[in-house]
């Protein structure tokens, strides 16, 4: 929806008058570096033009009223009882963010809010991180103004607030990639991030002749968070086993591919060994991707995307028939030079690097084959690579 339409909707909900502020944070697509973030490794995500937008206006009491453009209910949050909203089916992420901000010393200002989300909910493009980061940015901005703090909001801190919300309020032990990408994205750039130190740089994506095409399985994800937490535990078990040879290892990204393969047999559990192999080889693929893109070699980058996707399918085992079908069908199309799942997996989306002239054919042929095999349609997005969280003035 356009901002002017959203303002009309806001005023019809909460009444006219006063200053209405607008904040936005994007979702993300990860190009390569999957399930490496909570292993201290490298990721390479980019922020999308789809995301979460908030309109808000201050209130005089201690209540926050929240409504989403696509949901009927209005949620009321008492800023004095922020621990109490974990069970909300919508609004729990926002309450969790307010709670984390309050614990970090921010003042939570009462306000009326309208959320407009353009990302598919639970579709693997970080709709949750977009909500967390935009909520954190909005409340931190209001708090700083109320307390006379002139410095701009620290967006990396907002990303960390979002991640803490997942850990402490939602119960997902996620890494930092999604929130970092939503907070720190830059137009036409991907973010090359090392997830333990949070060192990062923006890398320009020169997409000359190519499109990053996102395809959504539209699979309803169930148990995704428990399987996610299970993978995390398997990686921790691999680190424990490798301590025999590497007493100082704290995470899988502390060792190189060569070191891993020389000592892999010390991980007795075969499944755990394959999980670790994915992480270690994926880190190496991110580093190669950076070099490859700097050299303008898109074909080689596409090959690295494919290798990443295969490793996620066979070694990390986070795909499933829906993602596998999208990837298999995509790779059949002439003009597709790489295709892989993106995000946590278990459903969600794929990202494909496609020659511009093959995009229409991709959508038509992959869409048809997917629906025939899976029984319901996929969705396709041609999103731009956009800026991270900001206030829209
Ligand atoms: C989810 C998590 C991220 C990351 C990816 C997998 O999106 O939120 O932290 O672990 O899965 O790369």
Domain ranges of the chain: 3-203, 205-381
The pLDDT value given to residue 222: 66
Query: Which residue lies with its CA nearest to atom 11 of ligand 1?
Result: 344
* CB-based pocket (< 6 A), ligand 1: 34-35, 37-38, 174-175, 177-178, 343-344
Q: How many angstroms separate the CA atoms of 176 and 134, rounded?
A: 15
Dmax (CA) for the chain in angstroms is 68
Report CA(149)–ligand 1 centroid distance (Å).
Answer: 33
> Is it the case that residue 134 has pLDDT exceeding 80?
yes
The atom of ligand 1 lying closest to the CA of 172 is 8
Q: For the chain, give the mean pLDDT.
A: 97
Q: What are the start-end ranges of the H helices in the chain?
A: 3-14, 92-103, 127-146, 155-165, 177-184, 224-242, 257-263, 270-294, 298-314, 321-332, 359-374
Report CA(177)–ligand 1 centroid distance (Å).
Answer: 6
Q: Which residues lie below 8 Å from residue 247, measured CB to CB, with a gap of 6+?
A: none
Q: Could you report the per-residue pLDDT of 264-314, keeping only the tens digit for each?
A: 999 999 999 999 999 999 999 999 999 999 999 999 999 999 999 999 999
Report CA(29)–ligand 1 centroid distance (Å).
Answer: 11
The pLDDT value given to residue 225: 79
Catalytic residue numbers read 178
Tell me what the mean pLDDT of segment 367-385 comes to: 97
DSSP assignment of 195-233, as one string? TTT--EEEEE---TTEEEEEEE--PPP-SHHHHHHHHHH
The pLDDT value given to residue 15: 98
CATH for 205-381 (3.30.70.890, 3.40.50.300, 1.10.10.10, 3.90.1010.10):
3.30.70.890
Q: Could you report the per-residue pLDDT of 340-363, keeping only the tens digit for each?
A: 999 999 999 999 999 999 999 999
Pocket test for ligand 1, best of 175, 232, 318 (most atoms within 8 A of CB): 175
> Is it the case that residue 123 has pLDDT exceeding 90?
no
Q: Could you report the per-residue pLDDT of 286-297, keeping only the tens digit for each?
A: 999 999 999 999
The pLDDT value given to residue 6: 98
State the CATH architecture for 3-203: 2-Layer Sandwich (3.30)
CA angle, residues 270, 277, 292, in degrees to nearest 5: 160
Pocket test for ligand 1, best of 344, 350, 351 (most atoms within 8 A of CB): 344
Three-state SS at 363: helix
Q: Could you report the per-residue pLDDT of 137-187, keeping only the tens digit for each?
A: 999 999 999 999 999 999 999 999 999 999 999 998 999 999 999 999 999
Cβ atoms of 220 and 347 closer than 8 Å: yes
> Is it the case that residue 208 has pLDDT exceeding 90?
no
In the numeric block, which tokens belong to residue 162? 């979002």
> Is it the case that residue 223 has pLDDT exceeding 70?
no
Report CA(235)–ligand 1 centroid distance (Å).
Answer: 14
> Is it the case that residue 46 has pLDDT exceeding 80?
yes
Q: How many angstroms separate the CA atoms of 152 and 60, rounded?
A: 24
The pLDDT value given to residue 325: 98
Pocket test for ligand 1, best of 29, 35, 45, 341 (most atoms within 8 A of CB): 35
Contacts 24+ apart (CB under 8 A), 364-369: 365/329, 365/332, 365/333, 366/215, 366/326, 366/329, 366/330, 366/333, 369/325, 369/329
DSSP assignment of 332-351, as one string? HSTTEEEEEEESS-SSSEEE
The pLDDT value given to residue 116: 98
Cβ atoms of 383 and 214 closer than 8 Å: yes
Report CA(43)–ligand 1 centroid distance (Å).
Answer: 10
Percent of the chain predicted with pLDDT > 90 = 95
* 221 — pLDDT class (breaks 50, 70, 90): confident
């Amino acid at each position: 929806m356009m901002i002017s339409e959203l303002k009309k909707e806001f005023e019809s909900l909460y009444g006219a008058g006063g200053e209405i502020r607008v904040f936005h944070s994007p979702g993300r697509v990860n190009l390569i570096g999957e399930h490496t973030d909570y292993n201290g490794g490298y990721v390479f995500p980019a922020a999308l033009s789809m995301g979460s937008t908030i309109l808000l206006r201050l209130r005089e009491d201690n209540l926050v009223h929240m409504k989403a453009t696509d949901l009927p209910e209005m949620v009321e949050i008492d800023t004095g009882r922020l621990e109490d909203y974990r069970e909300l089916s919508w609004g729990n992420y926002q309450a969790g963010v307010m709670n984390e901000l309050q614990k970090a010393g921010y003042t939570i200002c009462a306000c009326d809010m309208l959320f407009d989300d353009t990302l598919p909910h639970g579709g693997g493009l970080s709709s949750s991180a977009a909500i967390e980061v935009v909520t954190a940015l909005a409340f931190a901005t209001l708090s700083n103004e109320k307390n006379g703090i002139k410095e701009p909001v620290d967006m990396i801190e907002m990303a960390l607030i979002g991640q803490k919300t997942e850990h402490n309020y939602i119960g997902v032990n996620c890494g930092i990639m999604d929130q970092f990408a939503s907070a720190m994205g830059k137009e036409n750039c991907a973010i090359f991030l090392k997830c333990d130190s949070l060192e990062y740089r923006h890398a320009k994506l020169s997409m000359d002749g190519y499109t990053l095409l996102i395809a959504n399985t539209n699979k309803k994800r169930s148990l995704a968070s428990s399987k996610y937490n299970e993978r995390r535990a398997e990686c921790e078990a691999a680190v424990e086993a490798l301590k025999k040879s590497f007493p100082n290892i704290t995470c899988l990204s502390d060792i190189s591919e060569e070191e891993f393969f020389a000592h892999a047999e010390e991980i007795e559990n075969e499944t755990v060994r394959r999980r670790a192999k994915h992480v270690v080889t994926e880190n190496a693929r991110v580093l190669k991707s950076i070099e490859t893109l700097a050299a303008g070699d898109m074909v080689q980058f596409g090959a690295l995307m494919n290798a990443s996707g295969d490793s996620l399918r066979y070694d990390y085992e986070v795909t499933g028939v829906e993602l596998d079908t999208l990837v298999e069908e995509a790779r059949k199309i002439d003009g597709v030079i790489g295709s892989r799942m993106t995000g946590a997996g278990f459903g969600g989306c794929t990202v494909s690097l496609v020659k511009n002239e093959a995009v229409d054919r991709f959508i038509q042929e992959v869409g048809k084959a997917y629906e025939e095999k899976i029984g319901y349609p996929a969705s396709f997005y041609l999103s731009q690579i956009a800026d991270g969280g900001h206030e829209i003035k």
